[in-house]
């Protein structure tokens, strides 16, 4: 049995794209001191640490121990409170070769991140007040959808349609009471 404990703010990393050969791959990181940890494996640590939120920073992911280059990347920098999870986040946009994505991901683990559990990013968004339960559940529905109809229904819930319905019923009950 796997013990999937979610520890808020603990720095986590995950491969966010399918691990198959592709033009791009994304490794997502989140948690306390996330930017500082990524900077341990980045060729331009000062540029990363001083970057404004919601910006991109160009450079290389390098081996934390030898300094050897792993891949040329763009980093999406998100400051505390302004990300999907509500925490500090860095998304690493790298080339999508399987070895490359795994190389970038493994450097994040070496830098001090732990592997994220399935659904942990959405869980953090929920506990940090960045989403409600209906939208959090809709994320999984979108990921698991196989048809245009199921995707469309899930997208409606993600955009807040179910929350709005529930909220209007709640208001009606309160007014009635």
List of residues 6+ apart from 137 with CB closer than 8 A: 157
Q: Which residues, 6 or more positions from 3, have their beta carbon under 8 angstroms from its beta carbon?
A: none
Cβ contacts of 111 within 8 Å, gap of 6 or more: 37, 38, 40, 41, 64
Q: What is the pLDDT of residues 117-143, one digit of tens each?
A: 999 999 999 999 998 888 888 888 888
Name the pTM for this structure: 0.85
- Residue 142: name the closest of 159, 126, 155 by CA: 155
pLDDT digits (tens, 9 = 90+) for 81-108: 999 999 999 999 999 999 999 999 999 9
């Amino acid at each position: 049995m796997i013990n999937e404990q979610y520890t808020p703010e603990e720095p986590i990393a995950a491969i966010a794209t399918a691990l198959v050969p592709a033009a791009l791959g994304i490794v997502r990181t989140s948690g306390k001191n996330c930017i500082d940890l990524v900077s341990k494996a980045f060729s331009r640590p000062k540029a990363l640490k001083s970057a404004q939120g919601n910006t991109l920073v160009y450079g290389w992911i390098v081996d934390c121990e030898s300094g050897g280059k792993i891949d040329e990347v763009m980093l999406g920098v998100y400051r505390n409170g302004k990300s999907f999870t509500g925490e500090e986040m860095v998304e690493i946009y790298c080339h999508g070769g399987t070895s490359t994505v795994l190389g970038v991901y493994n450097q994040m683990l070496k830098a001090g991140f732990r592997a994220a559990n399935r659904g942990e990013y959405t869980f953090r968004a929920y506990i940090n007040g960045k989403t409600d339960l209906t939208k959090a559940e809709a994320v999984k529905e979108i990921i698991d959808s196989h048809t245009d109809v199921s995707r469309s229904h899930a997208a409606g819930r993600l955009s807040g349609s179910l929350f709005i319905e529930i909220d209007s019923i709640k208001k009606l009950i309160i007014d009635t009471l």
